Structure 1
Amino acid sequence: MTSALPESVAGTWHRAGTRTGESKVLLVSITAETTVYEPAETASALAALGSSDIPVRSLFTVDMRFSPSLSSVGVSPTSVLSKAAPKARSQFVDLVEDDGLTVEDTRETLSFERPDGTEGRWYVLDASYPLSPALETDRESLAAEANVAIWPTDDAYGMAGGTLPLEAPDSLDALEVDPERDRETIASLIRSVDPDKSSE
C-alpha cells in the first residue's frame, strides 16, 4: 500500500519505483516504504541522464509503520517530532545517496503548517546529480536540490518531498529547468498528500 498522490499532481506523474527500509529506535521497529514518482511527459528525457535510480526531477511519498504502535508504548508523534524529523532526514539522505545522488549540505531547516494546522519540519538539501558518461557533455554532474518534509499524524508520521534540477546540460534542453515551478509542485504534494489514504 502506498499513499495516493493528490489530484494536483496525480494526472501528470507516474510511479518510478518503490524502496523499503527498516530501522529501530529503542523498542520500536520502523518500516518505511518510499514510493518515487516521475513526470510522465519527460520520463524518457530524465532516464537519458542515467547514473541514478532516482530521476533528477521526482516526487516521493513515504509510508511509515511502527511496531509496536507509538500509542501502545505511550509516545505521541507530536511530542517527539524534534527527534524524529532529523532522523527521517538522515534516512532520506541515505536512500537517495544509495541511488546515486550526492547530498552536500542542508541549506535550510524550516517549520511549516499543513492546511489542517499540523506543524512539521521541512528540509532543503543541496545535492548533485551524476550524469551518464554516454551524454555528450564534459560535465560529470548537475546541481540539484532535494526537499523532504515530515509531520506528525495521529499515530505515526507523514513524509513527502521531491528532487529538482537547478541546471541542465546543453545536450538536454528537454529537461526544462524551472526551480520555482518544481518547488511549487513539491509544496503542493506536501500540503495535500494524505498518509491515511492509500492506493495499491
Structure 2
Amino acid sequence: MNLQAQSYPGIFITFEGIDGAGKSTHINHFARKLQEKYPNKKIILTREPGGTDLGEKLRTELLNQPMHPETEVLLMFAARREHLAQVIEPALMSGDIVISDRFTDSSFAYQCGGRGISVTQLNTLENWVQGRTINGQAYEIQPNKTFLFDLSVEIAQKRREQTRTPDKFEQLDTNFFNLVRNEYLRRAEVFQNRIKIIDASLSIDDIQKIMDLEVGLL
C-alpha cells in the first residue's frame, strides 16, 4: 500500500528508464511546470543512487567499481535508506513535492532483471528499507507516480555513445539492457495505477506535451 497516499501530505514522483532513454532531459521541465501549478510548494529534485553526502559517495563506487551483484544491491539499498531518512521522508512530511531520478524500480530492473538477483531478495530489501508501521498498519513507501521512459536498447545505446563517457553499467551489452527493459515493462504491467509508460522515441517537444498533461492530472 502506498504510504504517501495514507499519511504524507507531500507528493513523491519518480522518473525511470534504461540508460539513454532520455528521462533526465525532461525532469527539469516537469519540475518547472509543477512549480507553476503549485507555487506555494517546495520542489525537491534528487536522484538515486545519491541524494545525500553518503549516497553520492556510494554512487561513485557503484557506478565505477566492479563488485559482486549482491554487494551492489545491498549498497543500493543502503544509499536508499539514507536517502529516505535525510531527504524524501522529511520533505513529504512537510508537504513538499519530491522528484527523484530513479528509485526502487531501478533496483528491480538492473539488479533483478539485469544482474539476476532473485525477486524474493529484492522484495525483502524493499520491505526492510521502505516498510513502515503507522497505527498498527504496515505500509511501504512508494512513489505516488512513476514515469517510465521506454526506448529500444539499440536507440538508447546510440544516444549514450553521443552524450557521455559510459559508467560500468552503460558499458554492458545489449543483452543486459534488454533484460533491464523487460523487467521495467513487467513492473509497469503489475503496477499500472502507478507507472505510466512514456514513448521515449518521440521528440522532446512531444514528450514535454505529454508531461504537461500529466502535471494537470496531479
Q: TM-score, normalised by structure 1?
A: 0.31
Considering fraction of residues, name the structure with more strand.
Answer: 1
Considering fraction of residues, name the structure with more helix.
Answer: 2
Q: TM-score, normalised by structure 2?
A: 0.29
